[in-house]
Amino acid sequence: MSPATDRAQELEHLPRRPRGLQGVLRRAIPISRLEARTRTRLGKSARALGKRIDAKLDSSGVLSDVARNAERWRERQGMKGPIGRGGHSLGEDHFDELSRVFQTDGLDAFGRLIRTDVTDWQLDVEAILRGEYERMYNAGGSGAQIKLGIRPNFQLRNRFILEQLADRANMLSGGFSDDMFDRLRTVVAEEFYLSGNGPFEVAEALVDEFSFFSKARARLIARTETLTITEQAQFTLYEASGVELKRWLTTLDSKERFSHFGAHGQMRLIDEPFELIDEDGQKFELMMPGDPDGDISQLANCRCDFAPVVSESQVLSQDAIWAGDLDPDEFSKDRVEERDRMAEREAILEAEGA
């Protein structure tokens, strides 16, 4: 059994809710400021997209064309009253109804009209996320250094990690744009074809959809992504720098998840997952709060954090802490080799002294 495992077992009997850690967490990372900046930029971008599409719809007259197409389609379907949104529920048939509507000439014309704008918006969102991800990662790395009692000098320059962040921004922005495209088509399909509403009602519904993304959706994305990136930066720094233990910290304000309340104070080896159990007894494993490989039910809107647990025997100097430049795995390997060389020299000197 390793010394780290022994220490983990010895420390596991400590109170699960350490004194001084009740209520809102006192963070070394400006989470709220990072969230607000990302939320504001995403919301502004979505509102700009809404204005562009609204202007294009006004100048093209496509909504009137789609309304006529929808009226003819409803007559062929034998629809005399509203169904779907604003009427009775379609239940399991809703998806099939929408699928048929999406094949109509009117929806096809609407999709062609907005596709370029939505694609341009995707590129804008990707650029926003790439810049914010790098800012979040640097904040996470600096916060981790502060927690270790080291003067913060973290600056992410490792090309591989920067590429990983860029890939994540590309993947998420692509998902957002596809979601936005489908949402806008669904609004038009439900309002025109399934509910029988006119261009004015459809225009209002589209405005509501952009408002939803620029507020609620942007807030959720900003909070979840800020936590994920900053916690990932901390975890990578701790692991590369030889921190052996970690402790889960939960904001205890009666708003936390049942599973996160139970995890508060839980201690694990740095390379072992925390275990979370929800009210139904289902178990989840996360390497850290916001773990990108974790179940989304444990990630969205999470406000938890985790802290390094350093033994008295560990000496952490500025040079022994990963600063974001070298490959973290290579840094860790070099650090271990240097530690082994020092231990060997000390053993030789001790033998010579004897």
pLDDT digits (tens, 9 = 90+) for 256-298: 999 999 999 999 999 999 999 999 999 999 999 999 999 999 9
The answer to whether position 142 is within a domain reads yes
Kindly state whether residues 123 and 150 are assigned to the same domain. yes
Kindly state whether residues 102 and 116 are assigned to the same domain. yes
Kindly state whether residues 227 and 241 are assigned to the same domain. no
pLDDT score at 348: 65
Final residue in a domain of this structure, among 206, 232, 258: 232
Kindly state whether residues 73 and 176 are assigned to the same domain. yes
- Say yes or no to pLDDT of 73 above 50: yes
pLDDT score at 16: 41
Greater confidence, 263 or 3?
263
The residues facing 285 across adjacent strands are: 275
pLDDT score at 92: 56
- Residue 274 class from Cβ within 10 Å (0-12 exposed, 13-18 middle, 19+ buried)? buried
Cβ–Cβ < 8 Å for 202, 188: yes
pLDDT score at 9: 52
Kindly state whether residues 204 and 241 are assigned to the same domain. no
The answer to whether position 16 is within a domain reads no
Compute the average pLDDT of residues 129-149: 95
Residue with tokens 């604003």: 86
The answer to whether position 347 is within a domain reads yes
The alpha helices in the chain, defined as continuous H runs, are 3-11, 31-60, 62-77, 93-101, 105-147, 159-188, 199-212, 218-240, 258-263, 328-353
Cβ–Cβ < 8 Å for 185, 110: yes
- Residue 315 class from Cβ within 10 Å (0-12 exposed, 13-18 middle, 19+ buried)? exposed
Final residue in a domain of this structure, among 180, 197, 232: 232
The answer to whether position 13 is within a domain reads no
Per-residue CA distances from 310 to 27, 28, 71, 143, 236 (Å) = 18, 17, 70, 16, 16
Distance between CA atoms of residues 106 and 110, nearest Å: 6
The answer to whether position 10 is within a domain reads no
The answer to whether position 85 is within a domain reads yes
Cβ–Cβ < 8 Å for 213, 180: yes
- Residue 317 class from Cβ within 10 Å (0-12 exposed, 13-18 middle, 19+ buried)? exposed
Kindly state whether residues 239 and 190 are assigned to the same domain. no
Count the domains in the chain: 2
Render pLDDT for 172-208 as a digit per residue (tens, 0 to 9).
999 999 999 999 998 999 888 888 888 888 999 999 9
- Say yes or no to pLDDT of 41 above 90: yes
Render pLDDT for 153-182 as a digit per residue (tens, 0 to 9).
999 999 999 999 999 999 999 999 999 999
The answer to whether position 19 is within a domain reads no
The residues facing 274 across adjacent strands are: 286
- Say yes or no to pLDDT of 10 above 70: no
Report long-range pairs for 87-96 (Cβ below 8 Å, ≥24 apart).
87/194, 87/195, 90/194
Kindly state whether residues 60 and 195 are assigned to the same domain. yes
The three-state secondary structure class of 320 is helix
**Identity at 26, one-letter amino acid code:** R
- Residue 213 class from Cβ within 10 Å (0-12 exposed, 13-18 middle, 19+ buried)? buried
pLDDT score at 77: 73
Compute the average pLDDT of residues 334-342: 68
Kindly state whether residues 68 and 195 are assigned to the same domain. yes
Q: How large is the greatest C-alpha to C-alpha distance in the chain, in angstroms?
A: 101
pLDDT score at 225: 96
Cβ–Cβ < 8 Å for 222, 39: yes
- Say yes or no to pLDDT of 341 above 70: no
Kindly state whether residues 227 and 254 are assigned to the same domain. no
Distance between CA atoms of residues 184 and 336, nearest Å: 54
Compute the average pLDDT of residues 55-63: 91
Per-chain mean pLDDT for the chain: 85
Compute the average pLDDT of residues 81-99: 53
- Say yes or no to pLDDT of 25 above 70: no
Q: Which of 15-24, 48-57, 99-108, 331-340 has the highest mean pLDDT?
A: 48-57
pLDDT score at 343: 59
Kindly state whether residues 276 and 311 are assigned to the same domain. yes
Contacts of 44 (CB under 8 A, 6+ apart): 214
- Say yes or no to pLDDT of 88 above 50: no
The number of residues making up the chain comes to 354
Final residue in a domain of this structure, among 232, 253, 271: 232
- Domain holding 263, by residue range, is 235-353
> How large a percentage of the chain has pLDDT more than 70?
83
The answer to whether position 26 is within a domain reads no
Band of the pLDDT at 103, cuts 50, 70, 90? Answer: confident
Kindly state whether residues 224 and 241 are assigned to the same domain. no
Compute the average pLDDT of residues 225-236: 96
pTM of the model: 0.83
Poorest-confidence range of 79-88, 133-142, 226-235, 331-340? Answer: 79-88
Residue with tokens 């004897």: 354
Kindly state whether residues 113 and 152 are assigned to the same domain. yes
CA dihedral 52, 54, 58, 60 (to 10 degrees): 60
Q: What values do phi and psi take at 236, rounded to 5?
A: -60, -40
pLDDT score at 340: 58
Residue 171 in tokens? 């993947």
